[in-house]
Every structure is written in structure tokens, then in C-alpha cells.
Chains A and B, each alone.
Chain A
Amino acid sequence: MNIIKKYLSKKRWVAIVFATFFLGVILTFVSPVFLKFNNLQSVLVQASVTGIVAVGMTFIILTGGIDISLGAILFFTSALFAKIIVGTGSYIFAFVAAIGSACLLGLLNGFLVNKFKMSPLITTLATYTMYRGMAIHLTSAQNVPVPREFGFIGNGKIAGIPVPIILLFIVFGIGIYLLTKTRFGLYVRAIGNSSQSAIESNLPVKKVTLMVYLIGGFTSAIAALILLARVGGLQSGIGIGVEFTVIAAVVLGGTKLSGGAGTVVGSVIGAIFLVLIDNGLNLMNASPYIYDIVRGAVLLTAVIIDRVSIVRQTKHLLEQKAMRIESSKNI
């Protein structure tokens, strides 16, 4: 029991793995359809959009920042892509423009956060409003259908595996690599732990900040392409509320909002967990309006459990410290 506890406190993402597994077991009993291969596959496909953006958001939150504008970047990218593909028919041009502009918008977020030292929340709130306006301006508030063959990115398969799942795993892999195997990943955590000491030890804080917001923009672009392909065209509702679902996934995955501690694995599993909840409610034929209540309750439960475990850990540490002091006194 103690070993499990120790492991849980060290690897915060393990909790969400257990929770997801547990939810899976419950759903298996609730509905015989759940464990069917097709259902599991569709769960992963549905989780791909949230999961991909969650990878980018993890980097941002790890530095102690936050990006409310990712949903708007996603919307802008979809709008730009749809507009170009309908206008010129050139896929290469559309891909380059969409992904490039998403990176630029992310970069702009990072630049503004760096330059003006305002809270990232309010900075990205302002850019959220701007980007959304720019996107609707681009399409004059109209729906833009995309060519049918583009649906491949959302619904197609390569070697029997749906494309969104492949993309999810690619982004996931790159995210893990960047965070755990590179100096950049180390800096990201260091800045989140204490930006003051990161500056004092001459880490490239500004560069890393630019980079994490750029990654956020990039992942939003990939998610945008999947979503656009799955929906079959640009609609005004695309991307609304995505940022909050993504933040929920990241937090459920054990990443601290204050930065410093967290993993890409946890965030992606957090995204899958959220889809499982929707999937379960769907299998139980629940009213669509109940979804929000369940999601909110799950999120609150997660933060409460997290808080309780932190309080217990610090208490335990303090007790140990006190005992050590006691024993040293006795000697």
C-alpha cells in the first residue's frame, strides 16, 4: 500500500491512468458495446483533437503560463485553410499557410507575454478576442465547405489505423521527446518552478516562453485540420470552448496550473478520460445537457483529491522532519 502511495506521489500522472482504467471497467459493465473495437477506436479518434492541443497546452502550463486563445487559433487556422483550399485548390499552399499562421499567432502570444509582462491569462484573453474576430472576418461569417477528399485527415485510415490517431501519436511522441530528452524540456520545467531563479541562472527564459506558445499554436493547427476534416467544412462554432476542455484534460493529467510539474502522458490520458465520460453518458442515453454537470463534478473531484493528497504529503514530510530534529536533539 505504501509503495503505491509513494509511487502515486512521485508520478502524478499514474492517478489518471488508474481513474481511466477504472472508468473503462465500469463502462464495460454498463454497456456491452463499450469494449467493441470500433467503440474504443472512436474514443481515441474523438480524443485526438483535445489530446493534440493538450500536448501544446502542457508545455505552456509547465512554464506557469496559460493560453486561452488556442481555441481561437484553431478556429482561425480552419478558416484560413478552408478559404485557401476553396479559393486556390492547392493543398500544399493551404497546409503551409494554415500551419505557418498558427505558429505565428502562437509566437505573437509568446511575444506579448514576454514584452509586456501582463498576466498570460489577460494577454491571451485579448488575443482570443482578436483571433476570433480575424477568423470570422476572413470568411465574412459564412460557412465554408471543404472538398470531400480532404475528409481523409479526419475519417481516413492508413494501414487500418485512423489518421487522427496516427497524428495524435506523432504529436504525443514529439511532445514526450521534447519534454524529457532535451535541454529545452528541462528549461520549461525550470521556468515553471521558479522563473526568478531561471532568470538568475541565465536560462533563455524569453526564448523558451516564445517556443512554448509557438508549440501551442502548432498543435492547435494540427487539431484544426482534423476537426475541419471531420466536420466537413468551416462552421461558426468550431473551436469554442476547446481551450477549457484542454485545460481540464491537462489538469486531470496531474499537471500543476502553477507550473513546474506535469507530463505529456498525463494530459493525453486526461483527454481520453474526458472522452470516456462523454462516451459513457452517450452509451447510457443521458440527456446531452447533463454532460456539463458530470464534467464539472469530475473536474472538481480531481482537484479536491489532488489537494487532499498534497496536504497529506506536506504533513507527512513535516512530521518526518520534526522526528529527525527530535532524534538529533537526543544525541
Chain B
Amino acid sequence: MIKNGSMAKNSLNVIRNYPAIPIILSLLLAFSLLSPFFLTGINMESMMAANAVILIAAIGQTFVLLTGGIDLSVSTVISASAVLSGVVMASTQSVFLGVITAISVGILFGLFNGVLIGHFGLTPFITTMGTQLIARGIAFVVSQGIAVKGTPDAIVFFGFSSFLGIPYITLVSLGILIICSILLTQTTWGRKIILLGSNRKSADFVGINTKKIEMSVYLLSGFLAGIAGIISVANLGNAIPGVGDTILLIIIGGVVLGGTSMNGGEGSVQRTILGVGILAILTNGLNLIGIPFYDQLIIQGILIFIGNGLAMKISSKSSLAM
């Protein structure tokens, strides 16, 4: 009896921490009933591959949202790093140089955002809106608006291969997820981020260098956007300048849907993969049963709303309980 009670309490705690789980389970159940193709290996593989880029960028965004900021530039930094690395790879045929280029582009943009927001105290929304435009411009100027051709075969091969039914690029994103999760929960840096997000004044008061911490999250977000850029080249086979244009809202929506608060201080990387997972399953499943994309948008919007509302309700209850 006692054991049962504690189990119920445990599962309640899990749901409290991961408000997305009930949604994801019911979606999985519904789509596997509605479409026989949904649960097949091929479908799962393509779904995972299609969302690796979004997941990587969303992990970076989680850190930014945790400090109470926002990074609108991730999407087009992905484009810029994809295009620049694509150009470097096309001329040198070296994947190594391509990866280095992509990551440095990401780091440069992240550093730029971080210095302006963290050090000079500019508003995150407007600052990253500015860098978003600049990154997009660079991607389109360098590529002249068309896909960069001449990607080395090695990276294309990497993008289309998989291990035990899981695409390599998904493995990369899962690796990043694990590392970032450890960084966030097991290091003082991670705890400082959470404290900064939940109460900036007290974080300042206990002697945390809030400027540095704030800078570091934008740097991380930029760095991950750089990696996402090269992964997008692997996934699509070419560097495409418009790759980031449409995914910004999915990235932020995914993070929020997972239960990370926009006001900072509340959230985790694990929640983010669940939120991104919901949107991925939803898109994939609705495509399979033949719902046109515009009706999917309506459902997505409602779901982002419900997910966020649920997360807020649960988190406010749990903080009351404490």
C-alpha cells in the first residue's frame, strides 16, 4: 500500500518535471493506431534525421531562455555557418576545415551577442533580431541566394548513414544533449545560470559574475548553432542559405512546449528534447495521415499554447508545494 502510494507520487513527480510526457505518449499511441507506417524503422529514422538540426539549436536556446533572455539569431546563424562552411568545403574538399569554419562562425556570432547583451546590457530581443538580419544577409550574399554546390562526399555520406537505426546526425545531437544536460545540472556554471534566471538581483548579491554568465549562454547558443549549421549540410547534402528562415519558431516553440519557462529559471535540456519531439512526431504523424500543412500549423499553435500553459500550471503548483 505504502509502496503503491510512493510509486504514484514518483510518477506524479516525473510528470511535474516533464509535463510533455503525457502529450508525447498520447501522440505516439494515436499515430501508431492511425497509420501502420508510423512506427516503422524507416519512418522513425527519417523523422529523427529531419529534426537533428532543430534539436541542437533548441538545446542552445534552452540555456538562453533559462537566463530569461532570448536568441532570435540562432536560425540564421545556422544558415550563415552552413553557407560559409559549404564554400570552404567546396574549395578545399576538406570536411575538417568545414567543421572548423562552421563552429567559428557560430562562436563569433555567439560572442557578438554575448558581449552586447551580457557586457553592455542591451535588450536580448532587439540585439539578436539585429544579428539575425546580419547573419541572414551574410548567408545570402556569400551564396548569392542559391545552394552551395560541391559538398565533399564524406559529409553527405555521414548525413545519410545510421547506426542501429539511429542516424549519425541524431547521435551527434543526442551526444550534445547529454553533455549539455551534465553541464547544466552538475556544474556550478549550470547552477549559476538557473539562479541568474530565477532572480538576477540575488545572483548579483551573492557575488555571481552575472555579466559573464549571461555572455556564456549566448556563446553556447552560437556555438551550437554553428554545429547545427554543418549538420544541416550533412542532412540536406548542400549548404542552403534559406535553411534557417523557417525553423526559428519551431526551435523556440519546441523549447517552450517542453516546459522551459520564457521568464527564466525554470526548465531543463531533457524537457527540450521532449518538446522538440512533440513537434517532430506531430509533423510526421499528421503528414502520414494526410493532413495538409496549413491545418498542421493550427494544431501546432494550439499545442504550443496548451503545453506552455500546462507547464506553467504544474511548475507554479510544485513551487507552492515546496
Spell out A's residues near B (CB within 8 Å). 66, 112, 116-119, 121-123, 125-137, 140-141, 244, 247-248, 251, 257-258, 287, 289-297, 299-300, 303-304, 307
Contact = CB atoms under 8 A, between A and B. Distances in A.
Secondary structure dominating the interface of A: helix
Q: Which has the most chain B C-beta neighbours within 10 Å: A127, A128, A296?
A: A296
A127 B121 CA distance: 30
Q: Which of A126, A291, A299: most chain B Cβ within 10 A?
A: A126
A188 B125 CA distance: 21
B130 A297 contact: yes
A289 B137 contact: yes
B296 A118 contact: no
B312 A244 contact: no
A281 B299 CA distance: 41
A307 B309 CA distance: 34
Contacts of B252: 122, 125
B294 A303 contact: no
B133 A251 contact: no
Given A118-B309, A121-B70, A129 B300 contact: yes
B141 A130 contact: no
Given A128-B301, A251-B126, A296 B132 contact: yes
A292 B143 CA distance: 14
Interface in B20-75: 70
A122 B134 contact: no
Contacts of A296: 129-137
A25 B127 CA distance: 28
Interface in B203-229: none
B249 interface: yes
Contact of B120 (A128, A251, A304): A304
A231 to B, nearest CB: 20
Contacts of A116: 305, 309, 312
A257 B141 CA distance: 30
Contact of B137 (A125, A134, A244, A292): A292
Given A119-B263, A128-B249, A136 B302 contact: no
Most chain A beta-carbon contacts within 10 A, residue among B70, B129, B249, B296: B129
A3 to B, nearest CB: 28
B129 A137 contact: no
15 contacts: A118-B262, A118-B305, A122-B256, A123-B305, A127-B305, A128-B301, A129-B298, A130-B302, A133-B296, A248-B129, A287-B141, A289-B144, A295-B137, A296-B136, A304-B120
B121 A300 contact: no
A292 B301 contact: no
Given A129-B304, A293-B141, A296-B131, A121 B294 contact: no
A247 B135 CA distance: 18
Contacts of A130: 297-298, 300-302
B133 A126 contact: no
Q: Which of B126, B127, B131 has the most CB of A within 10 A?
A: B126
Nearest to A247: B129
Given A251-B126, A299-B130, A290 B137 contact: yes
B305 A303 contact: no
A257 B123 contact: yes
Contacts of B256: 122, 125
B126 A257 contact: yes
Given A125-B252, A289-B137, A290-B137, A136 B308 contact: no
Contacts of A127: 301, 305
Contacts of B262: 118-119, 121-122
B292 interface: yes
A293 B292 CA distance: 35
B126 A129 contact: no
A141 B116 CA distance: 41
A299 B133 contact: yes
B304 A292 contact: no
A303 B137 contact: no
A289 B141 contact: yes
B175 interface: no
A136 B294 contact: yes
